[in-house]
Amino acid sequence: MGSLHKATFVLLMLCMSALGRAEYLKYKDPKQPVGARVKDLLGRMTLTEKIGQMTQIERINATAEVISKYFIGSVLSSGGSPPFPRASAKDWASMVDEMQKAALSTRLGIPMIYGIDAVHGHNNVYKATIFPHNVGLGATRDPMLVKRIGEATALEVRATGIPYVFAPCIAVCRDPRWGRCYESYSEDPYVVRSMTTIISGLQGDVPSGSEGRPYVGGSKKVAACAKHYVGDGGTFMGINEGNTIIDNHGMMTIHMPAYYNSIIRGVSTIMVSFNSWNGTKMHANHYLITDFLKNKLKFRGLVISDWQGIDKITTPPHLNYSYSIEAGVGAGIDMIMVPFAYTEFIDGLTSQVEKNIIPMSRIDDAVYRILRVKFTMGLFENPYADRSLAGELGKQEHRELAREAVRKSLVLLKNGKSASTPLLPLPKKAGKILVAGSHADNLGNQCGGWTIEWQGDTSNDKTVGTTILSAIKSTVDPNTQVVFSENPDSAAVGSSKYDYAIVVVGEPPYAESFGDNLNLTIPTPGPVVIQTICKRIKCVVVLISGRPLVVEPYVSAMDALVAAWLPGTEGQGVTDVLFGNYGFSGKLARTWFKSVDQLPMNVGDKHYDPLFPFGFGLTTEAKN
């Protein structure tokens, strides 16, 4: 063979060899360090693909066509947004996998990340374990219990194919008039800080030496989200999304500390708050998002907006959307929650980058952070649901854990008309007992907002659990007659010979601004039921609420008073303590005011004059 032919042949063989061997893509190699993978992938991306990664849309819009056409980086379920009512773990996983398939079909095959509010268990999902809301968990003073709740929640979320949760809320609620106060562990920043253990439960424990970097420890853990950054619990008069009027020292010592702990624990994402700080919207606050959080605290995860959060930079919302995009992305938000108007956002941001209004360096910072989280959590290697986890949803061990959390969260505020005559624990053996009140046999009331529906529900059929009434019936002696009357009249109460009564009253479910409340009274007919019964029979009042309520006018009539907060699906945890299987141990993580005229009033204030102080809680011994 001539030398020319030989050279041609060698060249041909080299070409065939190259064609037969796929191009080496560093970003697809799990052996490469995360930083190298991110840089390699980022270098291959077009502006369209980058902006797609910064876009999070609502499930209802996330068709395969939309995901692949716009290179959508993330999808979410808003509160109460299942594939269909009573969807199973398998149904959820199938829906998420279909969306993932569309994301992986794109040119670079970047997986999308699905996020959901799992704020007290996997609360959007039928048959999930619903744990007590944070207001109750703060009263347990038990960070390890809260970590275990994070572990259980991660498993239930992964059972449905979802790898990312918008939790925990680490707000420091300084005014119970705020409709989200039940999402806060305490008015005290130190208690809230201690409860950031839930992040380690959700994500796994950060390896030694990696503190401060986003971390998700495998396919049975989920990426967490510390929210809402920052000062959401300190607004004027507790108005949701309002203005937090506080100096820099106050912001840093009250509202910021839990974020330090969250970052050390490797929290993957931080959500920006709707509130303003001294008149400046947080979604437009470059100093706190970029200068402080990213540059000073060295947060390396991604910063996400709240629901239509950039729209609300203007008043009214969406007044000047072009400005909202510029201000929000310019402030340092990396992923934008644009549930519906995503094309308007994508077009607007693209135009601003092309016109050099937003520099490419800002886009690259955002996408770098998003990809770092996706690589860190193993989404490129394991993009699909693990169907073997389906049995984790609502499993018995998780329900037992929730029951433990309920009994540890209950705070005993009064026990007996005098200290020498305690009413609790109640005898299981009695002739006849009365159970009354709007919340005694109502699972929806017991669980509160953010349960199946965004605003919660007032029925027993939206999910599976144990009401307090059914727990009482299964706890007392079989020969004890249990009479239930939601709102009995005085004649019926007076003429029947009851040994004692359990009155369960409280707030209806609510979420966010719908819960803002300037009077904080027990809703009717609660006060009438208390007075009708407690004047005639020995009674314990169990208050189901997301915060302290006005009880001073009625306390003297009661023999015992229990703050049960929003206990969730496991009503048996309430009866465990009422009947003495376990002792009361919960301590107030919030000040219990006498009158709303005192608000805001927090522990350490000069004129501190509570009905029950922060840290108060009577104890009882378990009966053998």
Q: Are 414 and 560 in contact (CB under 8 A)?
A: yes
Q: Could you tell me the CA-to-CA distances from 503 to 213, 497, 541 in Å, in that order?
A: 49, 16, 5
User: Which residues does the annotation mark as catalytic?
Assistant: 306, 512
Radius of gyration of the chain (CA): 27
Q: How far is CA 144 from the centre of its chain?
A: 18
- Kindly give, in sequence order, each residue whose CB lies less than 8 Å from that of residue 367, ignoring residues fewer than 6 positions away: 42, 45, 50, 53, 54, 334
Report which residue type is found at 210: S
Q: Are 172 and 189 in contact (CB under 8 A)?
A: yes
Q: Give the Cα-Cα-Cα angle 485, 404, 457 (nearest 5 degrees).
A: 45
Q: Are 201 and 151 in contact (CB under 8 A)?
A: yes
Q: Give the Cα-Cα-Cα angle 484, 487, 489 (nearest 5 degrees).
A: 105
Q: Are strands 432-436 and 500-506 parallel, antiparallel or unpaired?
A: parallel
Residue 64 neighbours by CB distance under 10 Å: 13
Instruction: Give the H/E segment covering residue 42.
Output: helix 34-44
What are 361's two structure tokens? 């360096």
Report the sign of the C-alpha dihedral through residues 395, 396, 397, 400, in that order.
Answer: positive
- Secondary structure (H, E, C), 50-98: HHHHCEEEEHHHCCHHHHHHHCCCEEEECCCCCCCCCCCHHHHHHHHHH
How far is the C-alpha of 353 from the C-alpha of 41, rounded, in Å? Answer: 20
User: Of 606, 623, 598, 585, nearest to 139 (Cα)?
Assistant: 585
Q: Could you tell me the CA-to-CA distances from 37 to 247, 266, 518 in Å, in that order?
A: 42, 20, 52
Instruction: Give the H/E segment covering residue 483.
Output: strand 481-485
How far is the C-alpha of 326 from the C-alpha of 298, rounded, in Å? Answer: 23
Q: Strand order in 55-58's β-sheet?
A: 164-165, 113-116, 74-77, 55-58, 336-337
Report which residue type is found at 333: I
Residue 6 neighbours by CB distance under 10 Å: 10
Q: Could you tell me the CA-to-CA distances from 556 to 502, 523, 564, 613 in Å, in that order?
A: 16, 19, 19, 18
Q: Are 149 and 235 in contact (CB under 8 A)?
A: no
Q: Are strands 411-415 and 560-565 parallel, antiparallel or unpaired?
A: antiparallel
Report the sign of the C-alpha dihedral through residues 157, 158, 161, 162, in that order.
Answer: positive
**What values do phi and psi take at 542, rounded to 5?**
-105, 115
